[in-house]
Structure 1
Amino acid sequence: MKTECIGDYVKFNGKAYPCTVSLTMNLIGGKWKAVILYHLKDGEKRYNELRKEIPSITEMTLSLQLKQLEKDGLITRKVFGKKPPVKVVYDLTRLGESFVPVLEAITQWGNKAVTDNGEFVHS
């Protein structure tokens, strides 16, 4: 029997999921979460750095996704200073760092898919 299917469900951070694939997709699924994690894999970044590196994401979406990634334990948010303007940086947690090999595999697969079946476009 597969490990991910031993019980009736799996539990993570107080939430129940039908299997580990469901858990994983909940944590990193959607259009932006993996992209944000990809941009944090080489080290901490400030909010505006992420906005510049992911120009097609809206401010509201970036803010919401960062909050969700922090809540799920994949990134940390560190605030420096007490009065505005404060410095806020985001970084991967150990759990987030453990996802980097998966991000690299996804990137490699995407690069091959585009090379074989599409094209890279530079504007």
Structure 2
Amino acid sequence: GPCMIAGVLDAEGRICAVHQTWVDPQPPHGKAQITWQGEEMSAKLVRGSKKGAAIRLCTPEGADTLVMGEGIETTLTAMVAAGVPGAAYWAGIDLGNMGGKARRGEGLRYAGLPDLTDTEAFVPPRWVR
């Protein structure tokens, strides 16, 4: 069915993965419900290595500000609202990619803090103020 496809670029601007989200063409639209051999499948798929990379929706010449959302739709919403004129707008794919692994606390599922030993998470480009 219909699919939103975007290139995932690494820090050097090279495509390192492809992000795919299948969409439901019938109202109210949204992500497709996919069933294969009786099993529910995810409507999202990343082929390749996304670690530390991003989907670059818009990077104007001379940008010094980066607005980053988790998904394409969230980031596009901010871009259309034009809240930060001249900013670059990138999607981080998922929270684990944007913030790194979560630090685990004793007896807690999630401690609310990033694991700073995860050196492969997204790092903003040098031009970001």
TM-score by shorter chain over 0.5: no
More helix by share: 1
Taking structure 2 as the reference length, what is the TM-score of the superposition? 0.26
More strand by share: 2
Taking structure 1 as the reference length, what is the TM-score of the superposition? 0.27
